Structure 1
């Protein structure tokens, strides 16, 4: 008598379910053993019953098989991550290449090259950008000049102090009195050389 087709759904009768579990479990473990012997495959099966009992079969030790499984999974994950990293790197490299090309075009246009392909709005934009850049350069130049002037003034003040200290040390009159004396002597020399009337 032919056996009828069994529906794939949970068996409601507890006794029938337990009997089916025992028969099918034994059949599954037998098939796993046959597969390992016939095909020289490393096979491991772990089964937990509804009551929580553990049934297992391993052709070469459950711990060894689980370690091998974990290693294989880790390698597979690493390969997947490597492939994803390579794809991401390729994508980033393509984006960088596009950005570099865009920057080169902008640089050429700022240098006045390749302007034939520009529209009037683009040319106005380039002009405005150059004017902003020139304004920033002028501001920076003025700032540098001011800093240099301040440094030179500070250096001059230090040198004047040092000069005054050295004159005092040598017993020479201060620089301000020396300048007045020189100016007076010059004016007197100039005055004596002036002649009114015919020579």
Structure 2
């Protein structure tokens, strides 16, 4: 079932507006990351929230990308390379802290902890992720076992061939062994008792 068309206008409810901002910001940053990886593109993304918080993503050094942009557009270059306002650093640290907390929470959920915090939608998504993970693990396990069985079969064939070869050599030795004259049964003389 597809989503309905969203009317593009300012969201009046502040909490809904904040939730939408957060979700769309994360989605935009994810798309920027994917584009930089898939296409080897140099990307710099700056987002300022309504409250003035700065969020950024950069596939390379942000200052370098901005300098490159200014150069391409013919804008004057600023010479304060490496100097970033404290607010930007704080925003980046806060963003990294939130990302870390989110990843830790996901790790706990995967381990089966803190599930009471999740709704039905999140639980179903987690279940799908777990099912996919289990299938990947099973597939990898089957592949490793199959490779191990093939290796054992090869070793078994080599050992059988070696055994057959040694058996032939033993048979050849048995047929070519000369029996000394004194052990040859045809040379024995039977004496009759007197």
Task: Indicate the TM-score class for this superposition, using the shorter chain for normalisation.
Answer: 0.3 to 0.5
Larger radius of gyration: 1
TM-score (norm 2): 0.43
- Higher RCO structure (Cα 8 Å, ≥6 apart): 2
TM-score (norm 1): 0.42
The structure carrying a bigger helix percent of its residues is: 1
